[in-house]
Amino acid sequence: MIRRLAALLALVAAPALASDALRPPLLLTGQRADVQDLSGRWTYSKDYYRTGLTDINGWVAKSRMQRYRDVDVAAEEAKPGTAFFEFDLDRGPAMEIPGAWNAAAPELRWYDGLIWFQRRFDAAPAKPGQRSFLRFEAVNYRAHVYLNGKEVGRHEGGFTPFVLEVTDVLRAQGNRLVVGVDSRHDAQSIPGEITDWDLYGGITRPVKLIQTPATFIDDATLRLTEAGRLVGSLQLNGAQAAGQAVSVQIDALNLKARATTDAHGEARFDIAAPGALKRWSPESPLLYAVRFASDGDAVDDRVGFRTLAVKGSEILLNGKPITLRGVSIHEEELGANPARRLTDSAARALLSEVKTGLNGNYVRLSHYPHSETMLRAADELGLLVWNEIPVYWTVDWDNPAVLLKARRQQAETIYRDRNRAALALWSVGNETPVAENRTRFHAALAATVRELDPSRLISAALLVERQGDTVRIADPLLPHLDVMAVNTYAGWYGDDRLEDLARLKWALPTDKPLLVSEFGADALAGYHDLSAQPKKWSEEFQAAYYRATLAMLGRIPNLRGLSPWVLKDFRSPRREHPIFQNGWNRKGLISETGQRKQAFEVMAEHYKTLPSNR
Ligand code: GCU
């Protein structure tokens, strides 16, 4: 009751902009037929001083530097006259898109600024009345998008999709798509300027050209409720959106439900779940083919149906207590020069280490929304997911524009992932120092989540307080969370020796489930120390750290899940020990090339010995 009251108060205190106003104007979720994938070789042009946007003294950029112009530079140069240019995207260097520029060329390894990308393409033959859209799955960090010389839109945020309509500027042949990508972060960006992960600037996820009928299905959802109902919605966009007959169909359940859109083009479904419906779970990740249709359009999705709740200190999946056996993951594929290019096979390579290698049922996708590919792979493999927006460490807590950015990123993620059964937890932050303005910021985010997606659990990776041998969790954010989560590194950071961990006492509320969202130690794969007191950085020390930490955490009565930091060594500019790190954070249970360290087996063994529902 207290919790609900607190959430209600948070709602009342929520910032002016109502959450449904955060819905992006266009979503184009779901899988549809008329999609052209623009992945491939894109040319690029560096623009370190942003002269393609503005010139010195804030003047308008010189036309000879405006990379987005719809101009064939070589042809212009071949003509007599005085025209000259200081760029040419047709004859520039090229790189594979999607993928971050840091991995594409040595000269770009540490580039942090604006780079212009270009993709020439022909469009599929237009159908009468059709509309055309560009859907970007992610561009890190700001995007300036131009098609055939016209600005069609901008977006801020490195990990969420955005859709721009290009109906009026698309042509049949020779389209010139130019995207200015600015990786620069600042004190008002989300995340801020300093993170413990690499920059990965660029067009890091796929770009698609989507063509739809004049009135189309922009979004459609369906989920199972505790009351055994299938509830959902369908949103049409277009001149004929209101008063339209629409339907949702699941052939495997012999189910077809009809509805009519309201004046805003939205229809709602609320149907009794068929008795034959089998629920999704990690042990049985059953997904149903769902078709949403209107008169003239249809989208498909693969949806699992399950229920999720918190009861006292238990997390219930389909009404039964569950313990989350997981690990934290960054969005970085295996390999020595990752480009943050998460193809389905790259995602499955990582997730199978969790599911099969570690006997896991859960993955914490840190510290930002991962690609939809990763979420869909978790749906298919049967891994529950913690999804996080990068409200990480230091944020300009008092700035309403920054809160709005965070709420928009939260909303963009929710609208993208609402149909993913695997998605269980929304995290509203990571390791943010307790302060009144910070707690208010997070509470507003929690209120946004509760309004936009009441079906999932809210958490945040909190810092613990240390008083002598007592580890305390007393964060004022707790009343806004369904599940407590903390990061702890006693035995790695700080002065504790591993033998001291047995003495630590944990003082925390026991009326809610607790997840330990991070614990970990660095080890360089292949570096061994066989002495009785193995040194830090050795695999033996990391394994001993895991054993001591698991023994300590096992004494917490309401511990309901673990996601040790971290599955795989990952790139970070903060980690520069010349022997052990060289720009890699080495807390991985596996190396960047997938070599398992001794601690991997310690964790796998631990999960294997946990009882099935513990
Ligand atoms: C923090 C933080 C991680 C970081 C880790 C570490 O807990 O959440 O992003 O990488 O510690 O220090 O390795």
Q: Terminal CA-to-CA distance of the chain, rounded, Å?
A: 27
Enter the tokens of residue 245: 């007959």
Residues comprising the chain, all counted: 614
Q: Identify which of 38, 143, 146, 46 has the alpha carbon closest to the alpha carbon of residue 88.
A: 46
Atom 4 in ligand 1: residue holding the nearest Cα: 196
Q: What is the pLDDT of residue 2?
A: 52
pLDDT of residue 613: 61
The answer to whether the CB of 373 falls within 8 A of the CB of 348 is no
Q: How do the residues of the chain divide into helix, strand and coil, expressed in percent and rounded to 5?
A: 20, 30, 50
Using CA atoms, how far apart are residues 391 and 410, in angstroms rounded to an integer? 10
Tokens of 521: 């130690």
| Nearest atom in ligand 1 to 522's CA | 13
Rounded Cα–Cα distance for residues 193 and 185 (Å): 5
- Confidence check: pLDDT of 7 > 60: no
Q: Is 94 exposed, middle or buried (0-12, 13-18, 19+ CB in 10 A)?
A: middle
The mean pLDDT of the chain is 95
- The whole-model pTM stands at 0.95
| Atom of ligand 1 minimally distant from the CA of 493 | 12
- Determine the average pLDDT of the residues in 16-45: 91
Residue 152 has what pLDDT?
98
Tokens of 557: 């009565």
pLDDT at position 107 over 70: yes
Measuring from each residue's beta carbon to the nearest atom of ligand 1, which residues come in under 6 Å? 196, 367, 430-431, 487, 518, 565, 585, 587
Q: Tell me, what's the pLDDT at 614?
A: 54
d(CA 610, CA 606): 7
Residue with CA closest to ligand 1 atom 12:
196
The pLDDT tens digits for 46-64 are: 999 999 999 988 899 999 9
Model pLDDT for residues 546-562, shown as the tens digit of each residue? 999 999 999 999 999 99
Domains of the chain and any CATH numbers: 31-211 (2.60.120.260), 216-308 (2.60.40.10), 318-609 (3.20.20.80)
pLDDT tens, 577-596?
999 999 999 999 999 999 99
* Closest atom of ligand 1 relative to the 570 alpha carbon: 10
Cis peptide before 367 (omega within 30 of 0): yes
Check residue 8 and give its pLDDT.
Answer: 47
Residue 367 CA: nearest ligand 1 atom is 9
Give 12's contacts (C-beta < 8 A, 6+ positions apart). none
Element (H, E) at 451: helix 436-452
pLDDT of residue 34: 84
Spatial separation of the C-alpha atoms in residues 409 and 431, rounded to whole Å: 18
pLDDT number for residue 13: 47
Which two tokens mark 486? 């903390």
Q: Name the maximum alpha-carbon separation found in the chain.
A: 83
Helix 400-417 × helix 436-452 angle, to 10°? 30
Question: Where would I find the beta strands (DSSP E) of 9-61?
Answer: 35-37, 40-46
Yes or no: say if 19 and 411 are a contact pair by the CB < 8 Å rule.
yes
> What residues form DSSP beta bridges with 584?
571
b/e sequence 364-395, b meaning 16+ C-beta within 10 Å: bbbbbbbbbbbbbbbbbbbbbbbbbbbbbbbb
Residues facing residue 301 across a β-bridge: 290
CA 433 to ligand 1 center in whole angstroms: 14
Q: What is the average per-residue pLDDT within 141-145?
A: 98
The CA distance from 314 to 319, in Å, is 10
| pLDDT tens track for 336-353 | 999 999 999 999 999 999
Distance 205 CA to ligand 1 centre (A): 24
pLDDT of residue 17: 74
**pLDDT given for residue 20 in this prediction:** 77
Helix, strand or coil, per DSSP, at residue 77: helix
Residue 192 has pLDDT above 60, yes or no: yes
d(CA 581, CA 575): 6
Average the pLDDT over each of 118-127, 401-410, 491-500, 524-533 and give the range with the smallest value: 118-127
pLDDT per residue over 264-291, tens digit each? Answer: 999 999 999 999 999 999 999 999 999 9
Instruction: For residue 196, report the distance from its CA to the centre of ligand 1, in Å.
Output: 6
pLDDT digits (tens, 9 = 90+) for 206-218: 999 999 999 999 9
Return the structure tokens found at 27: 């979503």
Res. 12: pLDDT tops 50: no
Q: Which residues contact 378 (CB under 8 A, 6 or more apart)?
A: 351, 363, 384, 385, 420, 422, 423
What DSSP string describes 387-453? EE---BS---TT-HHHHHHHHHHHHHHHHHHTT-TTEEEEEEEESPPP-HHHHHHHHHHHHHHHHH-
* CA–CA dist 216, 235 (Å, integer): 8
Q: Which of 20, 224, 219, 36 is nearest to 130 (CA)?
A: 36
| For ligand 1, mutation pick of 195, 196, 585 (most atoms within 8 Å of CB) | 196
Look at the alpha carbons of 226, 227, 228, 230 in this order and tell me if their dihedral is positive or negative.
negative
Q: How far is the CA of 587 from the centre of ligand 1 (A)?
A: 9
- Residue 266, sorted as left (phi over 0), alpha (psi -120 to 50) or beta, turns out to be beta
Q: Mapping DSSP to helix (H, G, I), strand (E, B) and coil, where does residue 56 land?
A: helix
What is the per-residue pLDDT for 14? 46
How many angstroms is it from 566 CA to the middle of ligand 1? 9
User: Is the model's pLDDT at 5 over the cut of 60?
Assistant: no
How many percent of the chain have pLDDT more than 90?
93
Angle at 180 between CA 176 and CA 185, to 5 degrees: 165
Distance 294 CA to ligand 1 centre (A): 47
Nearest residue CA, atom 9 of ligand 1? 196
> To 10 degrees, the CA torsion angle through 181, 185, 191, 195?
110
Cross-strand bridge partners of residue 324: 561
Residue 465, burial from CB neighbour count under 10 angstroms (0-12, 13-18, 19+): middle
Task: Give the pLDDT band (50/70/90) at residue 124.
Answer: confident
